Amino acid sequence: MEVKNKNKKKWDIIYVICKVFLFVEIAIVAIPIVILLYFGAWEVVSWIRPELDGSYNLGKGVYMLEWDGGGRIIVQCHSLNHKTCTGGSRLIPKLEDGYEGKGDYVIDAEFDENWIITRTDNRLNHERKFYIIDKSFDKDTTDADEIINNYIYSFTDSMTFAIECEQRGIRLQWK
């Protein structure tokens, strides 16, 4: 009986030691896998769902970005990571419109093959502005300043904006 108890205790100790080693081995393998999956998931997001990373492709190299400071801006993208735009030249609001948490920010944007329409609000005076971006420019040779000066039309009155959209045949509507 005493031999059986000794053997049982010995096997119990071996069993506990094996469990500890198994746990350590699993941890050694699992921790790097979890880290790779976590960081790799953001890479997958930049390919499959860039809008989860705050990047919305509006076509012709123009993107709407969720920007630091709690607002959206529209840029001509210069820094593209897979399908996610991470930076570019600001188109709307322009720098002089005072974005940095105090001024204009994009509320909404809609687009099709030929046009982008967008509206902004101002944090200080809640003044709305409406924009039409004509996408007839060559994205490879046209810089942001040229887009701003020749392809963006700005309106402070929603009725004037609606009439201009109708005259240009723009059928986009806010959702």
Q: Do the domain assignments include residue 78? A: yes
- Ranges assigned E (strand) in 30-151: 55-59, 62-67, 71-81, 84-92, 104-111, 115-122, 129-134
Beta-bridge partner residues of 34: none
Q: Which of 48, 65, 86 is the last residue of a domain?
A: 48
Q: Clarify whether residues 75 and 120 are in a common domain.
A: yes
Q: Clarify whether residues 65 and 108 are in a common domain.
A: yes
pLDDT along the chain (175 residues), means of 10: 62 78 80 70 67 88 84 92 88 68 83 96 89 96 95 96 96 86
* pLDDT at residue number 56: 93
Q: Do the domain assignments include residue 106? A: yes
**104 — phi, psi (to 5°)?**
-75, 150
Beta-bridge partner residues of 131: 118, 154
Q: Clarify whether residues 28 and 77 are in a common domain.
A: no
Q: How many domains does the chain have?
A: 2
Q: Clarify whether residues 88 and 128 are in a common domain.
A: yes
* pLDDT at residue number 173: 86
pTM of the model: 0.73
Q: Clarify whether residues 40 and 71 are in a common domain.
A: no
On the 0-12 / 13-18 / 19+ scale of CB atoms within 10 A, 115 is buried
Domain span at 55: 51-168
Find out whether 87 and 68 touch, Cβ atoms under 8 Å: no
Name the nearest CA neighbour of 109 among 135, 80, 138, 140.
135
* Three-state secondary structure call for residue 46: helix
